[in-house]
Chains A and B, each alone.
Chain A
Amino acid sequence: MSKHEITTIIGLEVHVQLKTKTKLFCSCSAAFGAPPNTQVCPVCLGLPGALPVMNEEAIELAIRAGLAINCSIPPMTKWDRKQYFYPDLPKGYQISQFDLPICADGYLEITDPEDPDSIRHIGIIRAHLEEDAGKSMHDEQTGKSDTRIDLNRCGTPLLEIVSQPDLRSAAEVKEYLTQLKLILTHLDVSDCEMQEGSLRVDANVNLHIRFDGKKIATPIVEVKNMNSFRAVERALEYEIERQYADWEVDGLTIEDNPKTTRGWDDVKERTFVQREKEESADYRYFPDPDLLPIRIPAERVEELRQSLGELPRETFARLQSQHGLKPYDADVIVNQGPAMIAYYERVSELSGDAKRASSWIQQDVMRTLKDRDVSIDDFLVTSVQLGELLKRVSDGQLDNTRARDVFSYLLEKESTVEQAIAALGIEQVDSSEIDALCQALLDANPAVVDDVRGGKVQAVGSLIGQAKKKNPNANPQQVRETLLRLIGK
C-alpha cells in the first residue's frame, strides 16, 4: 500500500473481568445477565456512609494472572480514586490503582504470525485492579428519551492489562489477544468473552514512516468499540491503511494532533471520529482514604506461582519436544484448552503414537465436536476408547478406514472398542486369505497386470477397491503390497 517504508506501532489496553463470585468492594453478586439493579447495595450505589471492603479472591486472581504474564508483584500496592462524572458511576470516582499497580513489568510470548517458528516477546507495562462502572442504555433512535442506568455491573472487579507499544500488525494483535485469553481462561481467572464484555480491548495505533531519511510519526489514534477478536483485527487493518492514506493527503504528524479517539463501526467496516482533540485527561487521582494498602509477602507470591501449574506456552513447547508434534499441531491442541490437552495426552499415551493421536483429534474428534456442537467434556468417545482404538491401528490390527467405522459406531452406541469391533464384524484377515483374494483379482484382470508391469504402478488402485468390496476387512495397505508382490514388482 505504501511507497515509503512504514512501521506500525500498536499498544493495547485490555480489561478483563475477574471470575469472582462477588464484587471488588462489596458482597453483591458479580454474575452477568441478572435483571437490572438487582445486584446492588449501598457500596456499589455510592450511598453516603457506605464503605468498601476488598475481596481477597480478586487480589489472588490478579496476582495469578500477573505471574502468568511474567509480571513482578511489588511488595506493596494501594488504591486510588480516579474522578470523573458520568451517570453510571454513582460515586463520582472509580476506585483504581495509579502509581503502585498490583502487577508490573511483564511480557507475553506470542508466535510471530510472519514466521511460525519464531517467537516474539510483547512487553507488558502493568496490570492493575479497578472496579467496573454500571451500564447506560441510551435512546438510540431519537436521543430524546431519558437514559436508563443499570448499576449491576458497578463494582465488579476488572484487571486492566497495559502492553508496551510492541505490536507491529493486526495479526500480531490477534495472536496477543488469543494467547492472553488462553492463559486467563486456562487459569480460570476470567471467561474472556468479548460478547459479554468480560474482555474489552482499546488499541492505540500510529505509523512511523520513513520519509526523506527522517522518521515521521502519524497522530496516535485510540480505537474503541470493538466487540470481537475479528473486529479488533479488521479495525486495526482499516486504521493502518487509513492513517497512511490520510498522511499522504494532509501530511499531519503527531506534533499537529497528538491523539484522537475513533470508534469501530462493525457494519460499515470503518473507524469514525469520536473525540477530535483529547481534552487533557485530569482525573485528579489521589489515594483512596477508605481503603488500606495491600502488602503481599514474597512467600505468598511464590506459593501462588507454584500453584499455576503448566501454562499453555509450556504445554505448547512440551508437545513439540516430548511428543514430536509440529508447532502448528501443538498450537491447535493447546488452543482448545485444558480439557482437550488432557484428552490428547491420554490418547497419545494409550496409543503410543503421538502423531496419530494428534491427527485423529484434529480431524475426526474436532470435526465431530463442531458438527454436534458439544464440548470435549461431553464427547461420547472417551480418551481411553480412542487411545485403545488407535493402538490397534498402530499395531496393524485395523486400518484407518475400519478404525473410522469403529469411531462412528462408538459415537452412536455405548460400547467398548472390543464390542464395536465385534458388532461391525471386523476381524483380522489372515495373509493366506489375502493372497487368495489378490490372486483371484489378478487372474480376472490381466490388463491391470500388464499396466503395472509396463510401469503404471498406480493401476493396482482399482483392484484395491474391488478387494475392499469382496472383503471389507481386507487392509488396503496389505492388499496393495500383496498385489505388487504377486505381480512380481
Chain B
Amino acid sequence: MSLTADDVRRLALLARLELTDEEVDAIGPQVTKILGFVEQLALLDTEDVEPMTTALDLDNRWRADELVPSLTNEQALQNAPAKDDSCFLVPPVLGTAASKSSH
C-alpha cells in the first residue's frame, strides 16, 4: 500500500508532529516502505494459529497491594521545566479541552 500526503499529515497530527510540506513528501515513501516490510507477515497462513499477546511464556505477574513510599514533592518536580510550589505547570489549556473529562 502507498500512503497519501493526507495520510501522513493525519499521522503527524495524531503524534503531535509539525511537518513541513517537504517533510511530508520525504516521510511518505519512508513510512510506506516500513509498512511494506511489515506487510510481508500477511503472506503467512495463520488460519490455525492462536493470536499471540506476548512473546514471553509467562502470565499473572503481579504484586500485593502494599504501600511503598512515593517520591517527595521536591523529587517529583525536580526535572520539570516549569513548576510552582507543588504542581507541574503547562501552558494554559484552552477552549473545549479545558472541559475535557474522562477518555
Known: A136-B93, A293-B54. A148 touches B88 (CB 8 A): yes
B88 touches A37 (CB 8 A): yes
B58 touches A149 (CB 8 A): no
B59 touches A36 (CB 8 A): no
CB-CB contacts below 8 Å: B22-77 with A: 53-54, 56, 58-68, 70-73, 76-77
Q: Please name all residues of chain B whose beta carbon is closer than 8 Å to the beta carbon of A20 when the two chains form the complex.
A: 65
Bound CA–CA A76/B53 (angstroms): 10
A22 touches B66 (CB 8 A): yes
Beyond A84-B103, A294-B59, 15 extra complex contacts between A and B, CB < 8 Å: A20-B65, A36-B73, A37-B77, A37-B88, A54-B62, A56-B65, A83-B14, A133-B102, A138-B92, A145-B92, A147-B90, A151-B76, A263-B99, A292-B59, A294-B60
Bound CA–CA A53/B58 (angstroms): 14
Q: Please name all residues of chain B whose beta carbon is closer than 8 Å to the beta carbon of A86 when the two chains form the complex.
A: 97, 100, 103
Q: How distant is A12 from chain B, measured CB to nearest CB, in Å?
A: 13
Show 30 A/B contacts (Cβ-Cβ < 8 Å), sorted by A: A29-B67, A35-B86, A40-B76, A53-B61, A53-B63, A55-B62, A55-B65, A58-B65, A59-B62, A82-B103, A83-B14, A86-B97, A87-B90, A87-B93, A133-B102, A143-B94, A148-B84, A148-B87, A148-B89, A149-B87, A149-B89, A151-B88, A200-B102, A202-B101, A283-B103, A284-B14, A289-B54, A293-B53, A293-B54, A293-B59
* B1 close to A (CB within 8 Å): no
* A28 close to B (CB within 8 Å): yes
Q: Number of B interface residues at 8 Å Cβ cutoff, please give it.
A: 41
Bound CA–CA A489/B46 (angstroms): 95
* B82 close to A (CB within 8 Å): yes
Q: Please name all residues of chain B whose beta carbon is closer than 8 Å to the beta carbon of A83 when the two chains form the complex.
A: 14
Q: Please name all residues of chain A whose beta carbon is closer than 8 Å to the beta carbon of B63 when the two chains form the complex.
A: 27, 53-56
B86 touches A36 (CB 8 A): yes
Q: Please name all residues of chain A whose beta carbon is closer than 8 Å to the beta carbon of B82 when the two chains form the complex.
A: 146
Q: How distant is B6 from chain A, measured CB to nearest CB, in Å?
A: 14
B89 touches A292 (CB 8 A): no
CB-CB contacts below 8 Å: A29-76 with B: 29, 35-42, 45, 53-59, 76
Q: Please name all residues of chain B whose beta carbon is closer than 8 Å to the beta carbon of A28 when the two chains form the complex.
A: 67-68, 70
Q: Please name all residues of chain B whose beta carbon is closer than 8 Å to the beta carbon of A22 when the two chains form the complex.
A: 65-68
* A287 close to B (CB within 8 Å): yes
Q: How distant is B76 from chain A, measured CB to nearest CB, in Å?
A: 5
Q: Please name all residues of chain B whose beta carbon is closer than 8 Å to the beta carbon of A283 when the two chains form the complex.
A: 103
B87 touches A143 (CB 8 A): no
Bound CA–CA A152/B103 (angstroms): 18
A38 touches B72 (CB 8 A): yes
Q: Please name all residues of chain B whose beta carbon is closer than 8 Å to the beta carbon of A292 when the two chains form the complex.
A: 54, 56, 58-61
CB-CB contacts below 8 Å: A78-102 with B: 78, 82-87, 94
Q: Please name all residues of chain B whose beta carbon is closer than 8 Å to the beta carbon of A29 when the two chains form the complex.
A: 67, 70
Bound CA–CA A139/B94 (angstroms): 9
